[in-house]
Structure 1
Amino acid sequence: MLKKLLEWDRDTFIYLNNLGIDDHDVFWTAVTTISNWTPLFLLFIVLLIYKYGKVEGLYKVLTLLVMLLFVLSLTYLTKEWVARLRPNNDTQVNTLIRILQSPHDYSFFSGHAASSFSITTLVYLFLRKKMAWTWVFFLWPILFALSRIFVGVHFPIDILVGMLVGITSAALFYKFHKSFIGKIRLGRSEGR
């Protein structure tokens, strides 16, 4: 079963990666670069503070940052433990694909997918009742995760698992924020 799943993963990756067009390489390389998304991160922070006020907004930003640290640590530890080669470093695959980036660390699971889906999901959970269009933010992690296939550095399973880790982490930190930080804030306001 695992062998068939890994074969599907490899074959699907090769197929999707080869759908890439030279004319779009600049686009996918730009999309996959984290620093290019800085304006979106700043927008998230501004929206949280604008919609919740300075103090509550900063608590939400702090929860977001702690969650991101958790996700990045979990990603790093999992990559080191599983030690799955990235497609660009796998000699059975790298001659069959288009490679636009060549990182040398491991592949499973995608940190780009995990971090982008965790950030977006938590921001969505915080803002969904205050803004009707927050679902649009999910365009970012979808493009961001897909870019990892087109630049040749992640298999589909890496991305799917990263996506699930990100969404699950966001749900857990949202619950943590509501039950723990929300009670602290409520207790302080009642004590005044």
Structure 2
Amino acid sequence: MIDWLYQTDINLFLKIHRGLSNDFFDFLLPLLRNRFFWSPLYIFFIVFCIKQYKKDGYYVIGGTLLTFAIGDLTASRLIKNAVQRIRPCNDPLLADEIITRVTCGSGFSFPSAHATNHFAIAIFVILVFYKHWKPVLPIGLLWAASISFSQVYVGVHYPIDVTVGALLGTCIGLLVYQLFKKLKPEF
């Protein structure tokens, strides 16, 4: 079963990484995974929360930062170091298959911290704002999913890495939202 899952993961990785290769994705997807690309969105979010919700906005910002901190700590510091799965772009068995689109990095692959962090933030923000603004659901999920997908496309993660990261991030977002609701039940 493990061998089948491993081979399926590699095959799906290659279908995405090589099979979907095109100039548009080669331009867009490396940008989506770049933390600086999203800086205007993060600044807008902070200003919006403070301006629109005053003191309560700081709780929303704090909850968002907490989801990021827990996600990053869990994925990057705990699980990755325990599992130590090599990134596809560093795997000698895939060396002839990899298209270099971004710097690979030396860290481990499982789970994807990008997927964990962005799904954690997306789920938290969706739960906080859904009753006020319904479009936050598809927008938040599309945002987190596109960043996660880009990780596979550029060659730094396998599909299972981002899938588990998304599930882990979802759990973290739900957990932090429960804490938020205890602190701010009227929000």
Read off the aligned partner of 2:101 and give its amino acid letter: L
Alignment of 1:28-67 (within 5 A): 28-51=29-52, 53-67=53-67
Q: Is the 8 A contact 2:9 2:159 kept in 1?
A: yes
Counterpart CA distance in 2 for 1:37 and 1:20 is: 23
Counterpart CA distance in 2 for 1:147 and 1:160 is: 12
Q: Which runs of 4+ in 1 moved over 4 A?
A: none
Counterpart CA distance in 2 for 1:24 and 1:127 is: 31
Query: Deviation at 1:88?
Result: 0.3
TM-score where L is the length of structure 2: 0.91
Tell me the equivalent position of 1:13: 13
Q: Is the 8 A contact 2:100 2:154 kept in 1?
A: yes
| Structure label with greater radius of gyration | 1
Q: Is the 8 A contact 2:50 2:57 kept in 1?
A: yes
Q: Is the 8 A contact 1:44 1:123 kept in 2?
A: no
Alignment RMSD, CA only? Answer: 1.8
Q: How many residues align?
A: 183
Runs of 5+ consecutive residues of structure 1 not aligned to the other structure: 187-192
3-state SS, counterpart of residue 151 of structure 2: helix
Query: Deviation at 1:50?
Result: 4.3
Counterpart CA distance in 2 for 1:61 and 1:182 is: 13
Read off the aligned partner of 1:158 and give its amino acid letter: D
Alignment of 1:12-161 (within 5 A): 12-18=12-18, 19-51=20-52, 53-76=53-76, 77-101=78-102, 102-135=104-137, 136-161=139-164
Q: Is the 8 A contact 2:115 2:147 kept in 1?
A: yes
Runs of 5+ consecutive residues of structure 2 not aligned to the other structure: none
Read off the aligned partner of 1:39 and give its amino acid letter: P
